[in-house]
Amino acid sequence: MSRDLQALLLSYAYVGVCVLGGEVAARRGAPREWARKFIHVGVGLWVFGALALFEHREWAVVPSLTAAVGNWFIHRQRLLRAVEAPADNLGTVWFALSFSAVLWFAWDRPAVAAGGVLAMAVGDALASLVGRRFGRHPYATLGGETKSLEGSLALLAGTFLSVLAALTWLPGLSPDMPRVSLALLCAVVAAVAEALGSRGRDNLWVPLAAAAVLAWTPAALATGLGVGAACALAIGIASWRRGSLTPSGVLGALLIGTPVFGLAGAVGTVALLGFFISSSALSKAFRARKAGVEAEYAKTGTRDLGQALANGGVGALAAVLLGVTGDARYLLAMLGAFAAANADTWATELGVLSRSAPRLVTTWRTVAPGTSGAVSGLGMLASTGGAAFVGVLAVLAGVSWTALPWIVGAGVAGSLADSALGATAQDVRWCEHCARETERRLHHCGHPTRPLRGWSWLGNDTVNVLATAVGALVAFWA
């Protein structure tokens, strides 16, 4: 009997024992979640057996591919109590498929293959168990599911430790690769991927994302990104405790802060922190005077994941391109994006305090304070000040003074683009009960709103993405 055939039989026997153990435990009264995770972790750990026993990858992926088919049938027929899930949750199928993909593509790099699978087998299991037992701070994912900050942090910690062990004990990485930094970066990406998944699809995204980080992160960038991840995590948690971020906003801070802190150096660090700290402070200042206007906004000053990505995503992408290409124009693009985000935030937070009525940027007619697309003299002054604040910080951190006018201009251009989109294309609603224009689909009075103007899919977060993109492009071509 060939070695691959022996390994194939051992694979089916091992997985069968894991499934049988979990099912027996579930039928004898063990909590279903514990029984499910027993199977989940046990099957995931078979990646070590597959790497050690099989000679050829073609044979090594056969058990997991057949498991994907078997899991689909079991799920549809509701055959096993231990792994029962809602009808639209194909998590067991996705995990088997991601196991197969990671094993196939990283066959010659065991540390990468094992690390990718362990991010799901260990990290996700901890996220579920800790979240259910200790989750006190829930948040809604972009997919509409509810998860907890405690669960996400447990996934990050479990992934870091298990991946670090794989990177330390298994071959497949270059000797100069910093293992600790790479494991931390992998854990951050896995935590964000898990938070974005819905209906079991995180079982696909987490292993693939983790393996991609382990396989493709250049050694020259790994240390910076690892340090950036640690800084972003610390700042995110501190900001959440101070009320500047929601639990999901902590994940946004990780996703934005890691590349900016890790790849854009002191310039990126002071620009991002300057934007975040100043805008958070302004959102809390004069809150009583702004309460009536802010009630019509789609979101509050406490930033969630969507707001973090909308305001910082373009800047983070520019930081990644800067790290990969070394092209200094991407540094300016990042500064233009943050200047635009800061300009728009300062204009919004301070413009509503203007004593004169604002005007719609397209028709110049007077409108109520807080109307999407409205501008005022005070708002324009605040917009310029917000852009200049980011620009001056960047100059103090090392950027040439000659770039300052372009950074300010990029920020103001992005803020004006935000106003133009708000006046024309952004989804704006009308509350018949209150006779008020609003960004909310459900007004604060409790009544649903109807479309007034704009496109239903173009909400405030999407407008922010486009506005920061305008700022980035203006600065890039400076």
Centre a 10 Å sphere on the Cβ of residue 174 and count the other Cβ atoms it contains.
7
Mapped onto helix, strand or coil, the DSSP state of residue 138 is: strand
Same domain, 140 and 25: no
Mean pLDDT across 368-397? 90
Helix, coil or strand: residue 148: strand
pLDDT higher at 394 or 300: 394
Both 330 and 457 in one domain: the answer is yes
Tell me, yes or no, whether 296 lies in a domain. no
> What pLDDT score does 436 carry?
77
Instruction: Name the residue range of residue 408's domain.
Output: 303-476
pLDDT on residue 82: 61
DSSP 286: T
Of residues 330, 339, 301, 304, the one with CA closest to residue 416: 339
Residue 443 lies in a domain: yes
Q: Are 411 and 343 in contact (CB under 8 A)?
A: yes
pLDDT classification of 146: cutoffs 50, 70, 90: confident
Residues 248 and 353 in one domain: no
Nearest Cα neighbor of 439 from 416, 421, 413 is 421
Any domain includes 112: no
- How much is the mean pLDDT over the chain? 88
Residue range 151-182, pLDDT digits in tens: 999 999 999 999 999 999 999 999 999 999 99
Residues 248 and 327 in one domain: no
pLDDT of 447 over the 70 cut: yes
pLDDT at 291: 52
Whether residues 357 and 212 fall in one domain: no
pLDDT digits (tens, 9 = 90+) for 295-344: 555 555 578 888 899 999 999 999 999 999 999 999 999 999 999 999 99
pLDDT at 226 over 80: yes
Instruction: Look at 245-249, 261-265, 450-454 and tell me which has the smallest mean pLDDT.
Output: 450-454
Verify that 417 and 333 share a domain, yes or no. Answer: yes
State the pLDDT confidence band at 48, using cuts at 50, 70 and 90.
Answer: very high
Same domain, yes or no, for 456 and 331?
yes
Would residue 275 count as lying in a domain? no
- Final residue before a domain boundary, out of 263, 289, 316: 263
Checking if the pLDDT of 403 tops 80, the result is: yes
Q: Which among 336, 339, 333, 374 is positioned nearest to 354, based on CA atoms? A: 374
What is the rounded CA–CA span in Å between residue 384 and residue 346? 9
For position 196, what pLDDT does the model report? Answer: 74
pLDDT digits 0-9 by tens, 52-98: 999 999 999 999 999 999 888 888 877 776 666 677 778 889 999 99
Sign of the C-alpha dihedral computed for residues 187, 191, 196 and 198 taken in this order = positive
Same domain, 158 and 98: no
- Stronger pLDDT, 296 or 275, i.e. the higher one: 275
The pairing of beta strand 428-431 with beta strand 138-140: unpaired
| pLDDT of the residue at 264 | 96
Q: What is the pLDDT of residue 74?
A: 84
The pTM for the full model equals 0.86
Relative to beta strand 428-431, strand 436-438 is antiparallel
Is the domain of 131 the same as that of 99? no
The answer as to whether 283 is a domain residue is: no
Location of structure tokens 């006190």: 136
- Residue 285 lies inside a defined structural domain of this protein: no
Q: Which residue has the higher pLDDT, 34 or 43?
A: 43
Q: Which residues contact 311 (CB under 8 A, 6 or more apart)?
A: 275, 303, 341, 345, 464, 468
Q: What percent of the chain has pLDDT over 70?
A: 94
Domain boundary among 76, 105, 134: 105
341 within a domain of the structure (yes/no): yes
Mean pLDDT of 441-449: 77
What average pLDDT does range 352-371 have in this prediction? 80
Q: Are residues 194 and 53 in the same domain?
A: no
Domain termination residue (choose one: 105, 138, 164): 105
Span 97-140, pLDDT tens digits: 999 999 999 999 999 999 999 999 999 889 988 988 898 999 87
Identify any residues that bridge with 450 across adjacent strands, giving them in sequence order.
430
The number of folded domains in the chain is: 3
Question: Is 129 a member of any domain?
Answer: yes
Residues 74 and 211 in one domain: no
- Report which of 176, 166, 334, 365 is spatially closest to residue 260, judged by C-alpha positions: 334
Rounded CA-CA distance 294/172 in Å is 53
**Phi, psi (deg, nearest 5) at residue 332:** -65, -40
Higher pLDDT, 281 or 340: 340
My answer on whether 204 and 93 are in the same domain is no
